[in-house]
Structure 1
Amino acid sequence: MRKADEITIQTQNITSLDLMERASTQIFNVLHQRLQGAPIPIHVFCGIGNNGGDGLVISRLLVEHGYHVKTYVVNFSDKRSKNFLINYDRLKEIASEWPTQIKSEEDFPTISPQDMVIDAIFGIGLNRPIVPWVINLIKHINAARSFTLSIDVPSGLYADKAPEDKEGVIYASTTVTFQLPKLVFFLPETGQYSQDLEVIDIGLSREFIAQTPGFADLIGKNEVLSLYRPRHKFAHKGDYGHCLIIGGSYGKIGSVVLATESSLRIGAGLATAYIPECGYEILQTSVPEAMVITDEEDDYISNIDIDFEPTVIGIGIGLGTGEKTINGFESFLKKNKSNLIIDADAINILSKKQELLEYLPPKTILTPHPGELKRLIGDWKDDFDKINRVKEFSKKYDAIVVVKGANSLIIYQDQIYVNTSGNPGMATAGSGDVLTGIITGLSAQGYDPLHAAVFGVYLHGMSGDLVVQSTGYQGLLASDIVAHIGKAYLELFKKPQQIPPQGSQTSS
């Protein structure tokens, strides 16, 4: 982002002060459009760098438009950025009340829950621990529970690591960030500091941004549309692959039901479930479209013996980790020639016997939840360390890893994809089994493994988003996600609703 600023200043023949004015005016426009002159007390906390300079510009514009504004300079150092000083003088020229200097806890202002706070203390350039009294100021602001808007990033949040003091970060009601989203907004440890995110275009060089690789790719509807493979008129089921779902044990056959039906709902031409004998009637009744092969054992899988070569295999859901199951899984891996999607207990077995990882085919997809991931790659210091560890694992074994979470990450070597679909209602039993089936079914249809993982995670989340419109978060079941897979496909091609101009009439 710093480089984008520099290139923009050069190519557009403007100064850094001009760019600050432009960016801050954009944030003011967002505020003004929503507040419409409301007589709300607004507290603007400014640091002494360029993020503070942004805050001073916003304060000046608010004052010029008649808002009730109090501006504070968080005076934690003797250093000032040049643009901060210029905007400090500009604000003093027009404000009836000069900015208040905060130098210690004695200077903390009273903030009411009905007030509004604009946080411009630190930006994305924060790279060192915060002085203790400023941490206490941040805690003081959070304790007020007023609506808080952070500029670019909540103060106290680093761009590339988790904060040392988890309470020493602004909990923003909304963060308005410049030009591009930042990875910290999508990771479990750091995403919690922004309830809502808005990205505003401040006119940075589009050419530079287009030519410069990002740290990660944000995946939404437009991105996955390019992955979609339409069906042709003369297609038959053989064109869309034969997937095999292997898993289940006594009391855990439902996981295979969910995965098998998902693989068919997502479009696989054929699906076979390989399960212990105890699940035969359940599978045949629950998913009549699927074929079923049973193991020689009644309650668990011990010997995976199939007489055909499937297009792709999804394995691990409900599998169990008994000794005979582990031996059967090891034997299967050593002779397998199909592409693999590995989940749940199959990942746990690999964690116990890591020498088996050498038998994974290229671009095997693993879909661990956080506990399974920790068993596989070891503990991590923070989410950034976790990403680096997954990258190392991916490179070593040529594997694609889906790191499941609120914003699931799909990682392949140095490539990171951040998913944007899904909701808290999907934190429910069986949701991961559905994802395994979806990715397996897409792989069966000939999607590249990485595309199958990215597209599958998005469609899985979109299905869940469609479900909660009628069930709410608590009422969502994994089987509901399966039932909405077809609607998720249709949602891809739905045009945004056009809002009629004010004063126009539409027929009912």
Structure 2
Amino acid sequence: MKIFSKEQIYEGDKLTAERQNISSTELMERAGNQIFNWMHMRMQGAQVPVHVFCGIGNNGGDGLVIARHLVTHGYDVKTYIVNCSDKRSKDFLVNYDRIKNVTKKWPILLSCTEDFPEIHQDDIIVDAVFGIGLNRPVDTWVKALFVHFRITKAFTLSVDIPSGLSTDKIPTDSDAVVWAGFTLSFASPKLVFFLPETAKYTVQWEVLDIGLDQEFLYTTETEVDLIGKHEVLPIYIPREKFSHKGQFGHTLIIGGSYGKIGAVTLASRAALSAGAGLVSAFIPKCGYHALQASFPEAMVITDVNEDLISKIDFKIAPTVIGFGVGVGTNTKTVNAFEAFLKNNNIPLVIDADGINILSKKKALLKLLPESTVLTPHPKELERLIGKWKDDFDKLKKVKAFSKKHNAIVVIKGANTITVFQDKLYVNTTGNPGLATAGSGDVLTGIITGLISQGYNPLAATIFGVYLHGKSADIAVEYFGYQSLISSHVIDYLGEAFIDLFKQPEQPPQEHDEEDNSNQ
């Protein structure tokens, strides 16, 4: 799914009006009606008090459309105008007149001099105060209104975006933003729904189709894509009947040090489970017996050193190399990695201490092959690109890093983001159970295993992040968040592949008893 920018949404609205020969007021009617339909389907006429708060711009106009349809369908509605400016949009005024024609309960004008309406916990708040066009600080009294929403604990439904939340910057005052229980977003979700600092402003979201021009939707290139099953299915490469392991590459995992051989074991197992034809592990001598015994499918090559990697020397010809899991940052290991990079042209996936080494010796970044994949956790990312002031600054710095070094960077989190050049790929799978030791090692293995089979590095990273999260989503049903461990993610990776081709379950069909009796 594409995530359109604010500017692209404006362009889409304009093109839709032109190509479908409709007015902006008609498009507003369509948008507001879609939200009413969503509510009506769930409320089924329930007489729960609904408080619709409308701004005086186009988002407020949407709110007036919603309120009018609720009124004409017999719901218990109170409509309020958040009178925060003298400027009213044309479409707001049109719909202000329309709602006055269908009810004697005209919208109540709210201003800084009035008390806020009484709202009970079991009521519903519809937030249509500000939309994506907000470009000024929220007035103090409006901020107090938003705090009032939260204090009531009433379910809050935001129209398109929680009021006060910008699409492209982090709020400086969390009280100046509506905290929505649900947001119904037009055409596409907003990037801020997926960032650590702003995701809290909407618990859930859903995209509503308001009939924007199809050519615009299909042909417009976006800076951000949202990755789910629909997006990764075209990436999947099926296997032929007469395939053999030689066709799926040879993954080499280089890593480990005394006490950290488990990281290599996890990455190696994950690579093979992701579909690599062969997997070899290059480790210190101390880990030989442990790895051979715990993962007999892997081939093992040992360093001359007993406890750490001191010289990277192997006679095999791997398709891809994963480096860094459990490797440590001993001077001998750093020197060995530098010597290796100077002579290497094999695709790389670098994780953990591999990234820490690059952070300490940034000159080594120039030696990375094109489209090297880096999978840092947050602290490793900070060492690599420097501190950031907020999530948008982080994305800016990662994009600059990616362009400078032609590298693919994985920003791990609740919604892991893969960055390549100026493009962001936001993942939708995964859960808090992945906050466990070794989950990053598993991700490294999955990505290397996919590259091994012939997936290009970017596709392998996007697909690998998805599978990693999906496997955890399946496994957590059996183990819960607290008891999920990284080995479980590997164990359920096959289920994640199978899930790609599962059709959604259909509700049971009702049968006419009279017809059945006549058969």
Same fold? TM cut 0.5: yes
Residue 288 of structure 1 and its aligned partner are, at CA, apart by 0.5
Aligned to 2:125: 117
Aligned to 2:207: 199
For the residue of structure 1 that corresponds to 2:281, the secondary structure is strand
CA distance in 1, matches of 2:457, 2:154: 46
Q: Match of 2:256, as an amino acid? A: G
CA distance in 2, matches of 1:367, 1:166: 31
8 A contact 1:263–1:438 mirrored in 2: yes
Residue 500 of structure 1 and its aligned partner are, at CA, apart by 3.0
Aligned to 1:484: 492
Aligned to 2:110: 102
Say if 1:105 and 1:377 are closer, same or farther in 2 by CA, change over 3 A: farther
CA distance in 1, matches of 2:347, 2:20: 50
CA distance in 2, matches of 1:15, 1:365: 48
8 A contact 1:105–1:136 mirrored in 2: no
Aligned to 1:92: 100
Residue 145 of structure 1 and its aligned partner are, at CA, apart by 1.6
Residue 105 of structure 1 and its aligned partner are, at CA, apart by 6.4
Alignment counterpart, residue 152 of structure 1, candidates 146, 160, 176: 160
Residue 23 of structure 1 and its aligned partner are, at CA, apart by 0.8
For the residue of structure 1 that corresponds to 2:301, the secondary structure is strand
1:412-431 correspondence runs (5 A): 412-431=420-439
Residue 215 of structure 1 and its aligned partner are, at CA, apart by 2.1
Alignment counterpart, residue 412 of structure 2, candidates 399, 404, 416: 404
Residue-by-residue CA offset, 1:139-194 (whole Å, 9 max, x unaligned): 22122221110000011110111112123211111100112222111221122211
CA distance in 2, matches of 1:467, 1:378: 35
For the residue of structure 1 that corresponds to 2:365, the secondary structure is helix
Residue 503 of structure 1 and its aligned partner are, at CA, apart by 4.9
Between 149-158 and 95-104, report the one with greater CA deviation.
95-104
Alignment counterpart, residue 275 of structure 2, candidates 267, 271, 291: 267
8 A contact 1:390–1:411 mirrored in 2: yes
Aligned to 1:473: 481
Aligned to 1:138: 146
CA distance in 1, matches of 2:26, 2:212: 12
CA distance in 2, matches of 1:144, 1:297: 65
Say if 1:236 and 1:140 are closer, same or farther in 2 by CA, change over 3 A: same
CA distance in 2, matches of 1:277, 1:284: 12
Instruction: Indicate whether 1:20 and 2:28 are aligned.
Output: yes
Q: Match of 1:174, as an amino acid? A: F
Say if 1:116 and 1:432 are closer, same or farther in 2 by CA, change over 3 A: same
Aligned to 1:371: 379
For the residue of structure 1 that corresponds to 2:148, the secondary structure is helix
CA distance in 1, matches of 2:146, 2:207: 23
Alignment counterpart, residue 46 of structure 2, candidates 22, 38, 49: 38
Residue 195 of structure 1 and its aligned partner are, at CA, apart by 1.0
Aligned to 1:165: 173
Aligned to 2:4: none
Residue 106 of structure 1 and its aligned partner are, at CA, apart by 4.0
Residue 417 of structure 1 and its aligned partner are, at CA, apart by 1.2
Alignment counterpart, residue 332 of structure 1, candidates 325, 340, 351: 340
Q: Structure 2 unaligned segments of length 5 or more: list them.
A: 1-8, 514-519
8 A contact 1:74–1:102 mirrored in 2: yes
Residue 250 of structure 1 and its aligned partner are, at CA, apart by 2.0
Between 476-485 and 86-95, report the one with greater CA deviation.
86-95
CA distance in 2, matches of 1:20, 1:100: 21
Instruction: Indicate whether 1:7 and 2:15 are aligned.
Output: yes
Task: Give the aligned CA root-mean-square deviation in angstroms.
Answer: 1.5
CA distance in 1, matches of 2:83, 2:511: 50
8 A contact 1:343–1:368 mirrored in 2: yes
Alignment counterpart, residue 231 of structure 1, candidates 226, 239, 245: 239
CA distance in 2, matches of 1:60, 1:267: 56
Aligned to 1:292: 300
8 A contact 1:105–1:137 mirrored in 2: no
- Of all paired residues, the percent bearing the same amino acid is 60
For the residue of structure 2 that corresponds to 1:192, the secondary structure is helix
CA distance in 2, matches of 1:183, 1:289: 42
Aligned to 2:359: 351
CA distance in 2, matches of 1:166, 1:300: 48
Q: Match of 2:175, as an amino acid? A: E
Between 186-195 and 152-161, report the one with greater CA deviation.
186-195
CA distance in 1, matches of 2:384, 2:290: 32
Alignment counterpart, residue 403 of structure 2, candidates 395, 402, 406: 395
Residue 404 of structure 1 and its aligned partner are, at CA, apart by 1.1
Q: Structure 1 unaligned segments of length 5 or more: list them.
A: none
1:198-217 correspondence runs (5 A): 198-217=206-225
Q: Match of 1:482, as an amino acid? A: I
For the residue of structure 2 that corresponds to 1:473, the secondary structure is helix
Aligned to 1:309: 317
Aligned residue-pair number: 506
Alignment counterpart, residue 453 of structure 2, candidates 433, 436, 445: 445
